[in-house]
């Protein structure tokens, strides 16, 4: 496992991270014992970046990680936590809260659920339109001074917001969707981050399984949010799965799986880009880790670009209501 520095001021992180969201029901039922075994397998393989959110399963995910980390050295895991998304008892999404008091309250509950003394990277999940980003980041900076947080990150915000946040406190990374079929960050956001010395932790590298080579049409359970995702609907899913077929031809030639090619492509975009893989099972984790052995040549990258050209995905990455919450989509430039 190789390790890269996260941003200009951050810790050394493994070249691939483990996203734990799917272990808490976002993609339908998951197996607790298998989830914990997957976290253990990741740590044993040298993966030190564990990514979660306090709203994943309404705290379930943090408690699951706490269980998985029992008996391990605290410094073996770099825990990245998103906060601020508000949910109701039916698990619906009801907004975001970036007020300074909410920052500190959310952190207090997170420390308790994770059973740790500090969080390695703490970040607002989305921009709260009613609270200046300076206030939210300022509150996290207070928690850095108090020793409860080591580093500050951002999630799904555009260039103007990134600049305003970085003016308050060093930002180590921007967590944002980035994959072969979600390349919006190439239109300004990535350049802004590089100018400011901010890494990208890329989630959705397999587009929620769509370009994993494992997805089958109509496979989503009603509790799986992909059942409502535009890219998995009607004609869109047919068009997107045709892109996967084109990618499969390249993967076969390389003796790799489609998922491995897709992850390797993200990693090949720069050492400042860390793919976060959302494996819920050890077999999927093993497959994802195999991407580290896939070396893509210039010729390979050209072939991939031809198979899956920028902008070729059918459908938006979220529903219209959720897209409206993405500062990264509404203000990418600046």
58 contacts 89 by C-beta, under 8 angstroms: no
- Give the C-alpha separation, 253 to 239, whole Å: 22
- Give the C-alpha separation, 43 to 233, whole Å: 36
Least Cα distance to 165 among 130, 129, 140, 143 occurs for 140
* Residue of 3, 27, 56, 228 with catalytic role: 56
- Give the C-alpha separation, 241 to 131, whole Å: 40
- Give the C-alpha separation, 200 to 326, whole Å: 16
- Give the C-alpha separation, 24 to 280, whole Å: 9
**DSSP labels, 158-216:** -HHHHHHHHHHS-EEEEEEE-BTTB-GGGTTHHHHHHHHT-EEEEE-TTTTTTTSS---
Name the residue with tokens 């500190």.
104
56 classed as catalytic: yes
The alpha-carbon radius of gyration of the chain (Å, integer) is 19
Question: SS3 of 270, please?
Answer: coil
Q: For 298, phi and psi rounded to 5 degrees?
A: -60, -40
- Give the C-alpha separation, 185 to 266, whole Å: 12
List the catalytic residues: 56
């Amino acid at each position: 496992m190789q390790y890269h520095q996260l941003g200009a001021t951050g810790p050394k992180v493994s070249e691939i991270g483990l996203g734990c969201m799917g272990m808490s029901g976002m993609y339908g039922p998951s197996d607790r014992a298998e989830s914990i075994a997957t976290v253990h397998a990741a740590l044993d393989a040298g993966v030190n970046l564990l990514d979660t959110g306090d709203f994943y399963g309404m705290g379930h995910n943090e408690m699951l990680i706490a269980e998985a980390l029992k008996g391990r050295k605290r410094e073996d895991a770099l825990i990245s936590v998103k906060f601020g998304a508000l949910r109701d008892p039916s698990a619906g999404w009801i907004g975001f809260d970036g007020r300074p008091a909410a920052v500190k309250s959310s952190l207090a509950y997170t420390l308790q659920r994770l059973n740790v003394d500090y969080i390695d990277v703490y970040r607002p999940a989305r921009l709260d339109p009613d609270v200046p980003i300076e206030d939210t980041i300022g509150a996290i900076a207070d928690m850095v001074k108090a020793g409860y947080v080591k580093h500050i990150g951002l999630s799904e915000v555009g260039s103007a917001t990134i600049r305003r946040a970085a003016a308050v406190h060093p930002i180590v990374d921007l967590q944002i969707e980035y994959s072969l079929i979600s390349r919006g960050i190439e239109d300004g956001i990535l350049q802004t981050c590089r100018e400011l010395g901010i890494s990208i932790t890329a989630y959705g590298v397999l587009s929620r399984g769509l370009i994993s080579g494992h997805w089958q049409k109509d496979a989503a359970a009603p509790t799986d949010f992909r059942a409502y995702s535009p890219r998995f609907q009607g004609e869109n899913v047919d068009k997107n799965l045709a892109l996967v077929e084109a990618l499969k031809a390249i993967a076969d030639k390389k003796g790799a799986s489609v998922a491995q090619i897709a992850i390797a492509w993200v990693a090949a975009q720069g050492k400042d880009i860390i793919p976060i893989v959302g494996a819920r099972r050890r077999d999927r984790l093993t497959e994802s880790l195999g991407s580290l052995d896939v070396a893509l040549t210039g010729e390979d990258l050209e072939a991939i670009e031809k198979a899956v050209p920028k902008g070729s995905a059918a459908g938006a990455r979220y529903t219209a209501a959720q897209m409206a919450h993405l500062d990264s989509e509404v203000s990418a430039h600046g």
